[in-house]
Amino acid sequence: MNVVVRPAEASSVESGNQPGYMTGFGNGFESEALPGALPVGRNSPQRCAYGLYAEQLSGAPFTAPRARNERSWLYRIRPTVAHWGRFSRAAQGLWRTAPCAETELPPAPMRWDPVGFPESPTSFIEAMHTITTAGDAAAMAGIAVHVYAATRSMQDEYFYNADGELLIVPQDGGLRLCTEFGVIEALPGEIAVIPRGVKFRAELPDGRARGYVCENYGGAFTLPERGPIGANCLANPRDFLTPVAAYEDREGPARLFVKWGGTLWQADLAQSPLDVVAWHGNYAPYKYDLRRFSPVGPLLFDHADPSIFTVLTSPSETPGTANVDFVCFPDRWMVSENTFRPPWYHMNIMSEFMGLIYGQYDAKPRGFVPGGFSLHNTMLPHGPDVDAFEAASQADLAPHKLAGSMAFMFETRFPQRVTSHAAELPELQPDYGDYGHRLVKKFNPAQA
């Protein structure tokens, strides 16, 4: 008999018209789906209420500094050791893990059209197609970037990733992420983050779903410092939503997939592992609506560095040198006087993977379409194409609103290696790297 228990009425919190979530970033949250399931004033009582087991999930070393220390206590029907079995290798599909040197491509900017949906039923996990890898997962440094195009919900299938956390960027179709901590519904324009080690399954409310994933092997995503900006703007903590507790008390055949050490493993279970009745702590999945981002930018002249649009950052041991930054480009006003307003031409020690959720990106009026993606790797030149350059050089510089577009970037300190799958995709635009050739010489030493 299948029994799915919804969150208790008392633990539902209204947050921006979204019931079932708690607000804040990295708070010491607590939530219970049954009254009294959470121990009061202690973590590990001799006997937990309702016959639950207590289990700690540590996302940071025990001794990490307080500001970086992440853990949660889960009160569950069975501990995770009971949701276990003899693991065998699962079909790996096209999921790759760094280091992965499948190809040796000449250095060039790269861009792809959106990938299509498969004709055969494909789950969120099966759909994970790695485009780039960077760093080394075993060293807990670097990232992988994946795209997914899924066509079936995960039923009685569960997954957790030991190699990194997953930052999911839906682009076409929403996701309903049933996690140990509760349910997250993420639509295009929103992002969801599943921390390392958190079990979940993905349902597709729209029947299919496409998007991007940053698998972060490094330090957990956190909010960037604001410096002189002060206490407000950019991504505000209150706009991050963490689900209230919801559990499945379901006996019956199930399968758990685990990605560990770059390999996808599977084991058969006799019940759902999403059996956490109550939890508390600061290590939990969350979602965020990118349209809540409050941009800050140049008010008089010049074009600021894109770091002003950083939503989340995974810091490294080197100050100011992110393992990966997640950056969005939301609606905003362009007001700078006597300024070339699009992004300038540049070369960067950081490598940049870009995607477009909807709309049109200002530096690339053509060829970069929603669902597509581009890679501007370490120290490779890039900038506006000829259309964008000519238009911006001649534009009337009245205040102008860029609206109806949402691009994003995964920017990492590591060079990104393209997988052989990505290199052979028919969606790879063969002539993209030539766009610079169309920028003609304008130099005239006789005219300043």
In the range 13-32, which residues lie near Fe ion by CB under 5 A? none
Facing residues of 248 across strands?
A: 4
Where b means 16+ CB within 10 Å and e means fewer, 174-202 reads bbbbbbbbbbbbbebbbbbbbbbbbbbbb
- Separation CA 358–CA 328 (nearest Å): 12
Residue type, 234: L
Residue type, 40: V
- Separation CA 54–CA 137 (nearest Å): 29
- Separation CA 380–CA 107 (nearest Å): 7
The CA distances from residue 373 to 68, 239, 369, 443, in Å, are 32, 27, 8, 33
- Is there a contact between 243 and 276 (Cβ–Cβ < 8 Å)? no
According to DSSP, residue 62 is labeled T
Q: Which helix (H) or strand (E) holds 393?
A: helix 386-394
The CA distances from residue 316 to 141, 172, 325, in Å, are 8, 32, 11
CB of 191 to Fe ion, least distance (A): 21
Using the minimum distance from each CB to Fe ion, give the nearer residue, 182 or 384: 384
CB of 361 to Fe ion, least distance (A): 12
Q: Output phi, psi for 77, to 5 deg.
A: -65, -40
Size of the site for Fe ion (CB under 5 A): 1
Using the minimum distance from each CB to Fe ion, give the nearer residue, 190 or 352: 352
- Separation CA 403–CA 338 (nearest Å): 22
Using the minimum distance from each CB to Fe ion, give the nearer residue, 347 or 403: 347
Task: From the candidates 129, 146, 303, 346, give the one annotated as an active-site residue.
Answer: 303
Using the minimum distance from each CB to Fe ion, give the nearer residue, 302 or 337: 302
CB of 378 to Fe ion, least distance (A): 11
CB of 117 to Fe ion, least distance (A): 30
Using the minimum distance from each CB to Fe ion, give the nearer residue, 272 or 351: 351
Task: Report strand pairing: 190-194 vs 286-289.
Answer: antiparallel
- Separation CA 291–CA 171 (nearest Å): 14
Q: Which helix (H) or strand (E) holds 248?
A: strand 247-260
Is 303 annotated in the active site? yes
CB of 342 to Fe ion, least distance (A): 11
Residue nearest to Fe ion (CB): 352
Edge-first strand listing for the sheet containing 406-412: 110-112, 373-376, 351-358, 406-412, 324-329, 310-314
Using the minimum distance from each CB to Fe ion, give the nearer residue, 248 or 325: 325
Q: Which two tokens stand for residue 404?
A: 């109806």
CB of 376 to Fe ion, least distance (A): 5
In the range 407-446, which residues lie near Fe ion by CB under 5 A? none
Using the minimum distance from each CB to Fe ion, give the nearer residue, 30 or 387: 387
CB of 210 to Fe ion, least distance (A): 24
- Separation CA 231–CA 176 (nearest Å): 32
285, 222, 259, 200: which is closest to 69 by C-alpha? 222
In the range 331-370, which residues lie near Fe ion by CB under 5 A? 352
- Separation CA 18–CA 364 (nearest Å): 35
CB of 112 to Fe ion, least distance (A): 17
Using the minimum distance from each CB to Fe ion, give the nearer residue, 240 or 329: 329
The residues annotated as belonging to the active site are 303
Residues near Fe ion, by CB under 5 A: 352
